[in-house]
Chains A and B, each alone.
Chain A
């Protein structure tokens, strides 16, 4: 199913904002509505922002009124340092319940639901497998508040998927994210000159770059991927290796016994180590990412490359500090720019798949390329025609492009090529 009218929750979160930006560049997408309790933090061109409460109670009316066919739920709090336990629970459990309820019902227009979940769903235990696959259950009941929330939220989503066979429901379980703009408990720890660890442990860590987080979510919107998918970069590093790549000092200062108390003391001096992270620092976690790769997603960063990219960003941070003005959302300005008849210079939509990334088509063999052509929109066909004529010049491909162009020729006389 092609998504045309999309609702993005958690617009103010990093992921929500980036996903909305990415979807804005999709030609087929007619409308994007973003909801959140806070203002967006990134600049958006055509996404409509609606402020809602933490519980997302009135979402049903928005979904019905805007005839939303796809919901991208990026709002789950997976890092307990970002907000209080109570607010996280409100958002994660009650919020998910209400969002799912807003999409349910026989007359609901929603046909696709993409849910951003977390690897914390699997927990972190001594007797874990080295790689969790999607079919595995949690071996133990959740231990930390945030894990409880995530398990409960996912349960609501799975119940929705079971009750709504017409909708394709995707659950993406992400490993810890890493990247220049991402602020998590882990990135704050990695920004310290010495990275604290638990003495006698060197846990296995897997990361996903922030661009891949957005990439996975966008991929799930663009394709039909019903089911659960793990999202994480290739490769699992040990913490000492991560710290080494970051160019920091590995400091195993947390005692193996009474670690919780020590972490509490560290919190007093400003180094916050939440309970779910404490478990990771001890036992580590790896996710088997092959299912999403088999579905066609190509990660841009391996775990190692994500760490390296993060290290580069960390080195640049002191130089860039205060460099750019952070984006501030002003409702009146946004409304004026979008709706006022006085505005004459509206920004041109920046469509994706511009010319330039067409080189990959040269490597396809002619028969495969000809089979692919009918699925391309007219503009892409034209671009590909020009590209083929200047590069590979395969006659059968050029002929097939001509045939497809003739078939999709618009009826209006404005098109120059129709003369």
Chain B
């Protein structure tokens, strides 16, 4: 199921997704979260490492190689 306010980041490179997430998370108020779609490779390489930086990271599969990811402060 698609979430309308989640952006589709599946076509970003891992580097550019990292940059995008750092920008978004810098602006995020405490207690809030960003939601977006990512591929398996992006989840493993780029999204998961944010959990080691004090963020809460979770994801659910919505289709083949498509995941709804949430990263919160």
Partners in one complex: no
Residues of B within 8 A of A (CB): none
Q: Which residues of chain A have a CB within 8 Å of any CB of chain B?
A: none
